[in-house]
Structure 1
Amino acid sequence: MNVTPIFETPYERAGIVTPGLPILPHGTERHPIPGGGSRALPIHKGDEISVLDFEGLQPGELVFFTPDGNSDPGRLGASSHGRPDGVISVLDNGSPSGAKVAAALDKAGFKLGDAQCIRVFSEGSKPGDMATFFAECDGLLIVAAPGAPMDPAQQTPLTDLILYIRRANPGHAKGGHVPPDPLADPLVDINIQPGNATSYEVKKGQFIQVLDVQGRECSDFQAFSLRSLDAGLEREIDPTTTRTLMGSLYPQPGIFSKYWNVDQEPLVEIVQDTCGRHDTFGLACTARYYEELGYPGHINCSDNMNKDLQQYGIRPRGGWPAINFFFNTLLDETNALGMDDPWSRPGDYVLLRALTDLICISSACPCDVDQANGWNPTDIQVRTYAETNSFSRSIGYRKSPEAPLEHTKETGFHNSFARHTRDFVEYNGYWLPNTFPSHGSVGEYWACREKAAIMDLSPLRKYEVTGPDAEELMQHCVTRNVKKLAVGQLTYTAICYEHGGMIDDGTLFRMGENAFRWIGGNDTSGLWIREQAEKLGLNAWVRNSTDQLHNVAIQGPLSRDILKEVLWTAPANPTVEELGMFRFTPARLGDFDGTAVVLGRAGYSGELGYEVFCHPKDAEEVFDAIWNVGKPMGMAPLGLAALDMIRIEAGLIFAGSEFDDQTDPFEAGIGFTVPLKSKNDDFIGRAALEERKAHPQRKLVGLELEGGLVASPGDCVRIGKAQVGEVTSAVKSPILGKNIALARVSVAHAEPGTEIEVGQLDGLQKRLKAKVVPYPHFDPTKERVKGNYG
């Protein structure tokens, strides 16, 4: 039978490309199978089933049950490979996806122990390999991506498989998407078509999910205190009160998550938000808006809300203030309010929790005369859930515009740090501690400078690069000379685009002759390396290991003394005391049979320091072992706020501040990572970097400011009325007792001693006097990093 390959393409029309709206063939569903996880899905006769090994080297296992409970691979046109040990192991490993599959099997009464499986991608599979099957009858399909937890010294990450199902009899929903499965058993499940508004009652503690089914559709939401309505008062969400109390245009999951009424009573809080971009509190669309555009009589959300709310005796209004979920408005520098296409993708949602009994109303906006709904109004799904459910707080994260949604995760060390703080902030898809109240940011800072500190750096992105052509691939992708890197050595390097702009900075570990581990700040760099492997046709695999390799940094003058009491290394490997700068070694907690870790000598503090990598399942044990030794010696936990102070003093750069894709390594202050003379091989961006080095335009410099005000990132740097640069990072240095900053300025004004002014307000009306100084501001010779033993 001829099979049409399944692939996803960005939506495109008349020269406008929208990668955030990937298009699949009609009737095709996409279901990611997480590494170490599984999915159970109903299958119908005639359905085409395709399993894609997205990153390569990930085995898969399928089990198909017919309606009578028999397991028969032949009904998918395949042969049996025996007992489904892989699926069974996944269901037993405690993963959330395994629990869902186990529940589906229990509900159906099917026995997995008696089943027969189909195995795919067992040996040497390449990225993009696909296995396809056809269903001869209805049934229940289970797909698993099995494997053991990765040893931190090995390079065997569990990666995702993608299941595609091309339905023999697809539905015909407008836009092609059906609402995704509910988060739990819903109390209310309403589909609101464009041009409609629907009210519903929600009790205190219950959850409300507002879901954009097709993407790019805004939904106006309002909530009224039922207690106030019963007393004859209308007390709905008030935008001014909310913005004032929360300090932001709209609340987000975390500490500042609540919406308030004018009596400063919280009505709802945001628990999950997969979109993260919403309205700046304009009105729901009104009759007047359309009239002034020349569309009198156009249906609008405010009138729809008025009609539906009459049943509660709520007075009508010409325009309803509302939370306009998914509506993308913005304020520009002239204070003008504008709009653009919504940021929401198909299936994006906001999950709220009611803080009191409420009457709520939601709409599906009918606007089809501008980009408010991407010019194409579609449906909104509203679901409510019982207060007995437990939903973690999360923000939506995607590795790339076309990548599937991921929720904010807790690192393996989360519970350990949560013993010391409740102040967590979202960082690159994870919750990380921001401050520790028992110490305060300045106290955390001094612990790192004088004794030791432990911080969670698990969100750093890790990619395993393996295969016969791994060295050639990395030599082509990074600026450093990889050929000079010995096994057991790591190096700090940059990755650039062809025009010389930086993608990322990070560390490259040489794990073996043909094996590397890339650790960077974002997924873009790892995905870029994988893209180059495919583009060049190299025999190399690039697999994401971020979720199987979490790490803490132990930084400060006493870090070596602490870790030498905690870690054991084999005789063939260096001890903690012997480990040289920019080296790493496998190690174990306590003794030869202890929990496996990898110890690297590096850091982000300007102090003697190390990083300890482990599997997330071992993270609490690793933390406790280090903490039990370090706490009596004065070690403290360290959060992001204190880390920012430390790294600015040490002149260490940060993505989005000191560099972006318009900044080359020389302009970012890390020109030492580009050895143009000693690296003879070509690499991505070399020609552009040679030109940029020969004709520099900007340079990263240190600034020392007079007075007591700290500059802000983005403040302009001026000489007279002319802007000659901008501040990238700034802090009041505790150890220096000065206000300092990093800034990128014109090379004509980069000499130490140059007097400049940092502009605020409009850059001209308020000036902070400063001068250019050498950086790093603190320990410029790096003596503290070397420690007592070099």
Structure 2
Amino acid sequence: MPEPIVTRTSPDRPRASSVLQPGLWQGGPGMERYRVKGRGSLVVPVKAGDRIAVCDTEGAQACELSFIDTNGRFNDAGLDVASDGTAEGLKALVAEGGEGASRTLAAFRRRGIDLAVARSLGLFGQSSTAGAKAEFTMALDGLLVVAAPGRPMHVASADTATPIELRVKRANVGRSYMEMLPEPLADPLQEIRIRAATASAYFVRAGEFIQLIDVSGRQCTDFQAFSARKVDRGLDLALDSTITRTLLGRSYPAPGLPSKAFDRDIEPLVEIVQDTVGRHDAFATACNARYYDDMGYPGHVNCTDNFNKALAPYGIPGRKGWEAINFFYNTHVDQQNQIHMDEPWSRPGDYVLMRALTDLVCVSSSCPDDIDAANGWDPTDIHLRTYSGAESFSRAVAIRMTPESAPVPTQETAFHPRFAEKTRNFTEYRGFWLPASFRDGAIGEYWACRERAVVMDLSALRKFEITGPDAEALLQWCLTRDIRKLSNGQVVYSAMCYESGGMIDDGTLYRLGQNNFRWVGGDDASGLWLREQAERAGFRAWVRSSTDQMHNIAVQGPGSRNILKDIIWTAPQQSSLGELDWFRFCIGRIGHFEGPPVVVSRTGYTGELGYEIFCHPKDALAVFDAVMKAGEPYGLTPMGLEALDMVRIEAGLVFAGYDFNDQIDPFEAGIGFTVPLKSKADDFIGREALIERKQTPRHRLVGLAIEANDAIGHGDPVFVGRAQVGVVTSATRSPILKRNIALARLDVHHAALGSTVEIGKLDGHQKRLPASVTDLAQYDPGKTRPRG
């Protein structure tokens, strides 16, 4: 008998995917967002009916708005509000060459605008709160000019300049392709729209720049290039991804030293100059007919056939499968050597900028793949621009403070010109180019730090000015240390935790006054967290970024005090440099009472006696030159990040992302001393979780002395028998201890001093390296040298 049909009263209905994409800003149709950097300016075309909102994101930042009509005149009618100033802030920024000054001037020149007669409307200022907004509706078509003016910051004050955010809600929601395109980096030589599922070939001369733009976001493009002189000889020696990966030791070229891509003759054809995505691949060929045939889509358009068609006029023979540098693709190889693929990381307007190293025939595609996630399931257009070789573009990648933030390109620190005279080996670190090593090599720099003195660029550290009547209360609530015990002129090392007890960041807090503090940490997230907590709890406190106005070098080593004591002038009410105790700072000047102002703290990251010197970028070269001159008799030498990693591991000093993250609490990170649960009476974020974690610990960060000379690295597993009991977080070969050492997070049952463990290589079982548990700091565990 047939089975009876079961009727449900409320049958389940298939549901759509619920996907959160914080990386794609959800502004809504017709909404645009712009960031005006502190001490910067921006020009945006607007039309009548457009609604604009200006936001003081961090508080206490002045803003100037100017409107220019289609006749090139400053006109109050555009904003429908009377001007109250003469744009003095904008004029000063343009005269100083501030952020965006060249583009602002270029926009004015093209329209015949006279900056001397500028008018402006002043917004916000010293009393405005974080997130303060002003909204307007445009009454005329024209240009909106937004400036975030400010004076150069004095190191002993909090008069920093911070970003202004501009949002534009277009009256006409439908944006054309050209309106979606970002502004050119310079005047283009070629503009080519590569429509979805097509490819275009083009010729580029040596020295010219090639910009590939993902207009809508999450769209892949294959790139291939040939030496034009070889094409003329009938050779089609294309870029070879295998050779490029082998020579660079990485998956794909990137700005910096590993920037070049090579053909089959091992000739470099292009170098990567700028990259706002940082995630591409060269693991596979461009898509081809075979791929779609095997997936059940015979006849599907593909990049290989598109390449063949585009390259035919140049006499380049077709292939069944082209390899390429796959820009904006997101594939990776797992531990089992399987290749996996997901949606691209690229956002609308992201790009890669390359420079041709010889005359090139190039071809680029807009990938037609719509049967998987390669293009976010929706193929769109790619835009190509080329620029003259006479243009100048700095090498840069992009970082974002938060997933939805606008990309910020890599900066050179104010000390960069002096370090660049001594090395070309720079690495990108947290949005800045920092030296990796110098001509003596990391070992030579290491011994200079241990025996003499070194100078390092630490300007990438994030600085935040915390001020206001509730500044102390905010920090007491957000930091694990007891801030009420901090005296003026004192520095304290602290952790900052989530409610779960997991760490946000570690850093040092400087007390400059009763209501004035400076946080120096490693991540922008710490400043964002402080600002969020101030708003949530209603604290009258401002948290304002000062990283761009406060650059710093560190002078470390046994000779550091002698080098600095005679060049740092301090007023009578300040401690002299020679009188500074550990974790104290003084405010002074270089040389004499009219010299460049500096803040000097007796702190460091090397395990040696040392100091950090903070100054405004405009004074950086004068500060550096004075330090180097004073250091000549003591053998002062520059030190890069490679040697810094060696000395900090020896000293048991932890590094974010390696030795701790947001799942690790301060006790597990080896810095439990920053959590005074007994002596700090006030509550703070994460206290309850940290009490519980301390009572029932699972892991402990320890040192490992390794009885083998094989290389050890972050992520290597640690075993006792067949069971994995931990993981290596940082490792190095210690010259002074004459062995490999590591920091490792171990199960507490195997973390006692002297316990024996094994570090796994290969699959963790086929090869083991014996090790024993030591103090976290294997070099000078009592900290006698920095205290001395």
Which TM-score bucket, shorter chain as reference? Answer: over 0.9
Letter in 1 for 2:563: I
Separation in structure 1 between the aligned mates of residue 128 and residue 622 of structure 2, nearest angstrom: 35
Equivalence for 1:476: 477
The 3-state SS of whatever aligns with 1:770 is strand
CA RMSD, Structure 1 to Structure 2 (Å): 1.5
Separation in structure 2 between the aligned mates of residue 707 and residue 136 of structure 1, nearest angstrom: 74
8 Å CA contact retained: 1:567, 1:588: yes
Equivalence for 1:125: 128
Separation in structure 2 between the aligned mates of residue 138 and residue 500 of structure 1, nearest angstrom: 53
Equivalence for 1:4: none
Deviation at 1:164, TM superposition (A): 2.0
Separation in structure 2 between the aligned mates of residue 601 and residue 728 of structure 1, nearest angstrom: 27
> Which of 186, 208, 219 is matched with 2:188 structurally?
186
> Which of 21, 24, 37 is matched with 1:21 structurally?
24
Equivalence for 1:373: 375
- Listed one character per residue, the Cα deviations across residues 554-574 of structure 1 (whole Å, up to 9, x for unaligned) are 111111111111111111110
Deviation at 1:218, TM superposition (A): 0.5
8 Å CA contact retained: 1:177, 1:213: no
Letter in 2 for 1:119: G
> Which of 208, 211, 225 is matched with 2:227 structurally?
225
- Listed one character per residue, the Cα deviations across residues 564-622 of structure 1 (whole Å, up to 9, x for unaligned) are 11111111110001111111121111111111111111100111111000011111110
Matched, 1:243 2:250: no
Please, which runs of 5 or more residues in structure 1 have no aligned partner?
Answer: 1-12
Letter in 2 for 1:217: Q
Matched, 1:157 2:184: no
Deviation at 1:138, TM superposition (A): 2.1
Letter in 2 for 1:249: S
Equivalence for 2:640: 639
Letter in 1 for 2:728: V
The 3-state SS of whatever aligns with 1:588 is strand
Matched, 1:314 2:316: yes
Equivalence for 1:540: 541
Letter in 1 for 2:657: G
Deviation at 1:304, TM superposition (A): 1.3
Deviation at 1:123, TM superposition (A): 4.2
Matched, 1:198 2:200: yes
Separation in structure 1 between the aligned mates of residue 387 and residue 777 of structure 2, nearest angstrom: 53
Letter in 1 for 2:305: D
Deviation at 1:96, TM superposition (A): 4.5
Equivalence for 2:111: 108
Separation in structure 1 between the aligned mates of residue 509 and residue 388 of structure 2, nearest angstrom: 48
Change (3 A) 1:632 1:20: same
8 Å CA contact retained: 2:77, 2:140: no
Separation in structure 1 between the aligned mates of residue 176 and residue 298 of structure 2, nearest angstrom: 30
8 Å CA contact retained: 1:200, 1:359: yes
Equivalence for 1:336: 338
Please, which runs of 5 or more residues in structure 2 have no aligned partner?
Answer: 1-15
Letter in 1 for 2:127: G
The 3-state SS of whatever aligns with 1:50 is strand
Deviation at 1:170, TM superposition (A): 4.0
Change (3 A) 1:177 1:645: farther
Of 745-754 and 107-116, deviating more is 107-116
Runs of 4+ in structure 1 deviating by more than 4 angstroms, as ranges, are none
Separation in structure 2 between the aligned mates of residue 192 and residue 46 of structure 1, nearest angstrom: 33
- Listed one character per residue, the Cα deviations across residues 324-343 of structure 1 (whole Å, up to 9, x for unaligned) are 10010010111111101111
Separation in structure 1 between the aligned mates of residue 575 and residue 503 of structure 2, nearest angstrom: 34
Of 491-500 and 69-78, deviating more is 69-78
8 Å CA contact retained: 1:492, 1:505: yes
> Which of 126, 137, 147 is matched with 2:150 structurally?
147
8 Å CA contact retained: 1:669, 1:699: yes
Equivalence for 1:600: 601
8 Å CA contact retained: 1:449, 1:556: yes
Deviation at 1:384, TM superposition (A): 0.6
Matched, 1:134 2:106: no
TM-score (norm 1): 0.96
Equivalence for 1:34: 37
TM-score (norm 2): 0.96
Deviation at 1:748, TM superposition (A): 0.8
After the TM superposition, which residues 550-561 of structure 1 pair with which residues of structure 2 at under 5 Å, given as runs? 550-561=551-562
Separation in structure 1 between the aligned mates of residue 282 and residue 761 of structure 2, nearest angstrom: 24
The 3-state SS of whatever aligns with 1:283 is coil
- Listed one character per residue, the Cα deviations across residues 354-376 of structure 1 (whole Å, up to 9, x for unaligned) are 11111111111111111101111
Equivalence for 1:464: 465
> Which of 410, 423, 426 is matched with 1:424 structurally?
426
Change (3 A) 1:564 1:45: same
8 Å CA contact retained: 1:280, 1:330: no
8 Å CA contact retained: 1:177, 1:346: no
8 Å CA contact retained: 2:78, 2:141: no
Deviation at 1:75, TM superposition (A): 3.2
Equivalence for 1:3: none
Equivalence for 1:256: 258
Equivalence for 2:292: 290
Equivalence for 1:760: 761
Equivalence for 2:352: 350
Separation in structure 1 between the aligned mates of residue 71 and residue 739 of structure 2, nearest angstrom: 76
State, as a whole percentage, how many aligned pairs show the same letter.
55
Letter in 2 for 1:493: S
Separation in structure 2 between the aligned mates of residue 309 and residue 172 of structure 1, nearest angstrom: 33
Separation in structure 2 between the aligned mates of residue 250 and residue 314 of structure 1, nearest angstrom: 24
Of 701-710 and 331-340, deviating more is 701-710
The 3-state SS of whatever aligns with 1:443 is helix
8 Å CA contact retained: 1:51, 1:131: yes
Of 44-53 and 647-656, deviating more is 44-53
Separation in structure 2 between the aligned mates of residue 511 and residue 306 of structure 1, nearest angstrom: 66
Separation in structure 1 between the aligned mates of residue 228 and residue 69 of structure 2, nearest angstrom: 50
After the TM superposition, which residues 292-691 of structure 1 pair with which residues of structure 2 at under 5 Å, given as runs? 292-437=294-439, 439-691=440-692
Equivalence for 1:63: 66
8 Å CA contact retained: 1:604, 1:652: yes
Deviation at 1:177, TM superposition (A): 7.1
The 3-state SS of whatever aligns with 2:579 is coil
- Listed one character per residue, the Cα deviations across residues 516-553 of structure 1 (whole Å, up to 9, x for unaligned) are 11111111111111111122222111111111000001
Change (3 A) 1:133 1:494: same
Deviation at 1:685, TM superposition (A): 1.2
Separation in structure 1 between the aligned mates of residue 166 and residue 460 of structure 2, nearest angstrom: 27
Letter in 2 for 1:98: A
Separation in structure 2 between the aligned mates of residue 655 and residue 68 of structure 1, nearest angstrom: 54
8 Å CA contact retained: 1:275, 1:396: yes
Letter in 1 for 2:684: F
Letter in 1 for 2:158: Q
The 3-state SS of whatever aligns with 1:606 is coil
Separation in structure 2 between the aligned mates of residue 491 and residue 557 of structure 1, nearest angstrom: 22
- Listed one character per residue, the Cα deviations across residues 292-332 of structure 1 (whole Å, up to 9, x for unaligned) are 22222222111111121121222222221111100100101
8 Å CA contact retained: 2:275, 2:353: yes
- Listed one character per residue, the Cα deviations across residues 172-198 of structure 1 (whole Å, up to 9, x for unaligned) are 347x97110111111111121211111
8 Å CA contact retained: 2:39, 2:99: no
The 3-state SS of whatever aligns with 1:16 is coil
Letter in 1 for 2:572: P
8 Å CA contact retained: 1:508, 1:516: yes
Deviation at 1:291, TM superposition (A): 2.0
Separation in structure 2 between the aligned mates of residue 450 and residue 108 of structure 1, nearest angstrom: 61
Change (3 A) 1:173 1:17: farther
Letter in 2 for 1:351: L
Separation in structure 2 between the aligned mates of residue 65 and residue 400 of structure 1, nearest angstrom: 33
Equivalence for 2:277: 275
8 Å CA contact retained: 1:202, 1:359: yes
8 Å CA contact retained: 1:187, 1:384: yes
Deviation at 1:66, TM superposition (A): 2.3
The 3-state SS of whatever aligns with 1:23 is coil
Separation in structure 1 between the aligned mates of residue 160 and residue 689 of structure 2, nearest angstrom: 35
- Listed one character per residue, the Cα deviations across residues 755-788 of structure 1 (whole Å, up to 9, x for unaligned) are 211111111111111111223111111110112x
Deviation at 1:474, TM superposition (A): 0.9
